[in-house]
Structure 1
Amino acid sequence: MTATLEAGLRPLIPEDIARIVIAPKSYTDDKVIYPAFQWLRENMPLGVAEVEGYDPIWIVTKHADIRAIELNAKLFHNADHNPILNDRASDAFMRQINGGSLRLISSLTYMDPPEHAAYRNLTQSWFMPSRIAKLEDQIRALARQSVEKLLSFDGECDFVRDFALHYPLRVIMTLFGVPPEDEPRMLKLTQEFFGVHDPEEQRPEMVADPVAAARMWAATLEDFYAYFDDLSAQRRAHPTDDMLSLIANAQVNGAPIPRDEANGYYVAIATAGHDTTSSSTAGGLHGMLLYPENFAKLKEAPSLVKGLVDEAIRWTSPVKHFMRNAVEETQVRGQTIRAMDRLMMCYPSGNRDEEVFADPTRFDITRSPNPHIAFGFGPHMCLGQHLAKLEMRVLFEELLPHLGSIELAGDPRMVETNFVGGYKTLPIRFTKR
């Protein structure tokens, strides 16, 4: 790509802004990352970041541009390069251990047409709204159990560690078919999978490694695969009525789904299937604590909980980016994008675009319409979006009637990541009704 972005032919983002957008640590502080995104939207909505150690990349910050690029999956691919932004050293390590390929995991994220559609169709009907709606009673029972646990604390707890991490994990693992006793293992592996840049989540032996993130990602995948190989074999021999059985016995083009593709599916569901939901749930509560008029409105009109869910997802944007590459020369916002140029879709920025959202930094559960792009857009739009929204709606419906008051009991902390993540801690005090 360096050869296609000659000096003078591209808008070059100031180095300090470019470093903020790319650095995982920036996403731990809203007062750092969101002003950088705002500057870009106002001054250079589509520009090139050149940061030492990384490929030059286009930074895409406007809602309309992200949406247009994601709608055109034939022109903008996920998988010709790495759909996740790594530094050059990490990408080189990935190629070294994977026969020259950056596709370390055969998940939908690493697939382009027509392969992507063939594999997405395996589970798409399972995630349709009509199918998901039938799960509400089962999910509500799990929500009530979680709320009872929260209320058992003596008026103070960590909303993330004591509550938000566990409920969506319990939901997705129940539907997936993972035994309850294995849920702590799935949570730990997920935190390692998405927290590869966070010193508190890294495995001790990898902290000082220059390619620690890549090594930890690879090691975590090995652990996931070892676990799911056994479970998948069980479901092929004795299928049950769960998602794991559906995938284990699936066929593509008349042949059984290969091991790597099955494991790619399992890992995607076992990680993103709960981590993003727990982050958005915590974000919803944090938003109400910062803008308490929302809590009062919900007390008066519980039906506003649907608005709370969408606003929590927009405001939190747990997926920070995905990468795309152009397959041929094209134009975006008047800029020439050459073949194999890489573009970073910055979802938190698109979800605070002033041209789309009035007063975008404010948390407002009455925001309507709320066309956020936290689930992505186009053919790669999140398969589990309807499940995530149902989980969150049911949880808040069960929780809020029991709370008389709620306030912060300390500063929240965020996971250090530029990929997927959100709240690490959210200390609260509350009174019960």
Structure 2
Amino acid sequence: MKTGPNASPADSLAVVDPNSYADWNSALDLFDRLRGESPVVRIECPDGSFDPFWLLTRYEDAMRVSKDNAGFLNAPRSTVFTNKAGEALAREVTARQGEESPNLVSSLVVIDAPKHPKLRRLTQEWFMPKNLRNIEAAIRDLAIKTVDRFIEASQGGNEVVDFVPLVAAPYPLHVVMQILGVPEADEPKMLFLTQQMFGGQDEDLSQSGMAQMTPEMISQIVFGAVAEFETYFEGLAAQRRANPTGDVATILATAQIDGEPISARDRAGYYIIVAAAGHDTTSASTAGAMLALAQDPEQFARAKADRSLVPGIVEEAIRWTSPVQHFMRTAVADCQFGDVTVRAGDWLMINYVAANHDPEQFDNPRKFDATRDANRHLAFGAGAHQCLGLHLARLEMRLLFEALLDRVDSIELAGEPRRAKSTFVGGLKTLPLRISGH
């Protein structure tokens, strides 16, 4: 039952079109216009290929839904936007595994209370700042080596270097794989599978070579990647049970809830969310920060002179880039958003890109400002489902940018950066630079 304004067919399709997010300024223009017309608007598919949902573009509404984990659930429907065919396929695959679900991966992202807090507690202490201090020196060492390779590749500023494959992608990947106990030799496989899972809509990232894939083809790529992840991590779990260590893989391999071992599906989902989300999002924010510094030599010079600006650069990059572009929720009961009535069972999209660019919350939101006061962005979510790895992401980025500012003397764009075509996890896939360093 419709109880609020409908977006036009063209706008509805643009909201769910991966290509929209590759054209960043046009996407922000779209969300600004929709927010101005109606902050909560119904998105309907002209051909009926996906179910209707309410799009939230205002920070205040996105924060409300994010924090109300009893009123807006993750699990009843797909937690990431998918069309009807994709959800049906997920239900079919998971039913064969004995637990039908609209979500292919049973991770912290899709599970509700009372199970969610029990699963989260298994690793929560590990990802807190106190424990991360134990690995800070190792991460700093890796950051320095990554910057060394980056400067070496530039050959004294004579070569154009692509920051994404040289720095933004491999650095956080290596950190997370070390935490999980994945051998370095297997890291390329992990990167490939992550790109297939999150970048299935982009022919470069999925490595399909096909610019015009049908939703069914995209689903098959994603499902294949998930199956490979599950097989790999079950093997790793078996190794850790036989030879336990202090890594997160061991915690999960031996984890119990209420005296019972966690299920293979929950364990695989946990590994996948740590492995995939743990590096792809940080990679996107890192590239976003570097783009901003390349576009603003004055801000780069200030940061070189004053390292106290680095945490601000990190936080602003995470807001400005908003790597996780949305999550979906399902309303438990009828509720009001202004004069719009959302009914029990309705599907909603929390659009973090729109929320993090809401001028009511952020002054001049499209400007990258490392000195922005009270940067309470929503890029990590809020409430019970706030990102588990937020302290790790901030630490990784801080250490990398400290190393970069120590060694890089100048940065300039040397070509057109390109963004991923993706409705879910997005960011730059190329960032050509010319740098000088020592």
Normalised-by-shorter TM-score class: over 0.9
TM-score, normalised by the number of residues in structure 1: 0.96
Task: Give the match for residue 260 of structure 2.
Answer: 255
Offset of residue 104 of structure 1: 1.8
Q: In structure 1, give the amino acid aligned to 2:101.
A: S
Using the aligned pairs only, state the percent identity.
43
Which residue of the partner structure matches residue 38 of structure 2?
44
1:209, distance to aligned residue in structure 2 (A) = 4.8
1:203–1:158 Cα change, 3 Å: closer
Per-residue CA deviation, residues 334-356 of structure 1 (Å, 9 max, x unaligned), is 32111110000100111111011
Does the alignment pair 1:167 with 2:171? yes
Root-mean-square deviation (Å): 1.4
Map residues 4-403 of structure 1 onto 2, 5 A cutoff: 4-5=1-2, 9-52=3-46, 53-99=49-95, 101-153=101-153, 154=155, 155=157, 156-202=160-206, 204=208, 208-403=213-408
The one-letter code sitting in structure 1 at the alignment partner of 2:24 is D
**1:104-132: CA deviation from partner (whole Å, max 9, x where unpaired):** 21111120111111111111111112222
- CA deviations on 1:150-197 (whole Å, 9 max, x unpaired) are 111112310001111011111111111111111011010011010111
The AA in structure 2 aligned to 1:284 is A
Question: Equivalents in 1 of 2:118, 2:218: separation in Å?
Answer: 31
Please say if residues 93 and 211 of structure 1, whose CA atoms lie closer than 8 Å, have aligned partners that are also in contact.
no
Q: CA deviation at 1:204?
A: 3.9
Partners of 2:139 and 2:399 within 8 A in 1: yes
Q: Distance in 1 between matches of 2:196 and 2:292?
A: 26
CA deviations on 1:200-223 (whole Å, 9 max, x unpaired) are 233649875541122111111110
C-alpha deviation, 1:307, in angstroms: 0.3
Letter in 2 for 1:105: V
Given that 2:293 and 2:411 are in contact with CA atoms closer than 8 Å, whether structure 1 keeps it comes out as no
TM-score, with structure 2 as normaliser: 0.95
State the distance in 1 between where 2:312 and 2:201 align. 33
Question: Which amino acid letter does the alignment assign opposite residue 41 of structure 1?
Answer: R
Contact 1:82 1:103 survives alignment (8 Å)? yes
Would the aligned equivalents of 1:65 and 1:333 in 2 still touch at CA under 8 Å?
Answer: no
User: Is this contact kept in 2: 1:28–1:416, CA < 8 A?
Assistant: yes
Partners of 1:134 and 1:236 in 2: CA distance = 23
Amino acid at match of 1:129: P
- Give distance in 1, aligned partners of 2:384 and 2:42: 26
**Structure 1 residues 322 and 208: alpha-carbon distance in aligned structure 2, compared to 1, 3 A threshold:** closer
CA contact (8 A) 1:47 1:60 kept: yes
Contact kept, 8 Å, 1:78 with 1:323, in 2: the verdict is yes
Give secondary structure in 1 for the equivalent of 2:123. Answer: coil
Whether contact under 8 Å (1:78, 1:325) holds in the other structure is yes
Specify the SS of the correspondent of 2:423: coil
Q: Deviations over 1:64-87 (max 9, x none)?
A: 111111111011000101001011
- Looking at structure 2, the residues matched to 55 and 145 of structure 1 have their Cα atoms a distance apart, in angstroms, of 48
| Count of aligned pairs | 427
Unaligned runs of 5+ in 1: none
